[in-house]
Amino acid sequence: MLFDNVDDGRWKDDIFMYQRTLNFETSARGWIDIGGAVNALIGVSEMRHGLCHVFLRHTSAALIITENADPDVRRDLERWMLRAVPDGDPMFVHDAEGDDDMPAHVRNALLGCERTIPFADGRLLLGTWQGLYLWEARSTAHHRRVVVTLSGE
């Protein structure tokens, strides 16, 4: 058998949805571990297991699942991204909010603004060395909103 605990795939009457918006203040370009805040919402929802969809309502920051043990990984990712898409690159025309404006939009397009993660027993089912992060791609502070939608039972 390929899978354990396979049911017949029919919808059950005890599937629920739960949605909340989390607010984060960034101080400047950098990383915020949002996994604890998402896990807290899972706990409040009282759902046992399901899927968690996390959506960032912005185009100049990103959501990333990456290494959570060694902060050098996040620093290296940021250095790589800043080399690949540098602030002030003259190829960009859009600079309405500064020389980091368009590069931040490109970084968002490359890294993404949403993630879907399974959860069980009140926690995201991330791997041992995985964390869920909001990466501020701009060089100044911003208010960021993240919509968390849970579906499960």
Average pLDDT, the chain: 92
Give pLDDT tens digits for 109-152.
999 999 999 999 999 999 999 999 999 999 999 999 999 999 99
Beta strands 61-67 and 30-33: pairing type? unpaired
Domains and CATH numbers, the chain: 24-145 (2.60.120.460)
- pLDDT for 15 equals 76
Q: DSSP string spanning 54-87?
A: EEE--SSEEEEEEESS-HHHHHHHHHHHHHHS-T
pTM of the model: 0.89
Of 152, 151, 144, 153, nearest in space to 21 by CA:
144
Give pLDDT tens digits for 72-95.
999 999 999 999 999 999 999 999
Q: Report d(CA 45, CA 84) in Å as an integer.
A: 40
Q: Report d(CA 102, CA 87) in Å as an integer.
A: 8
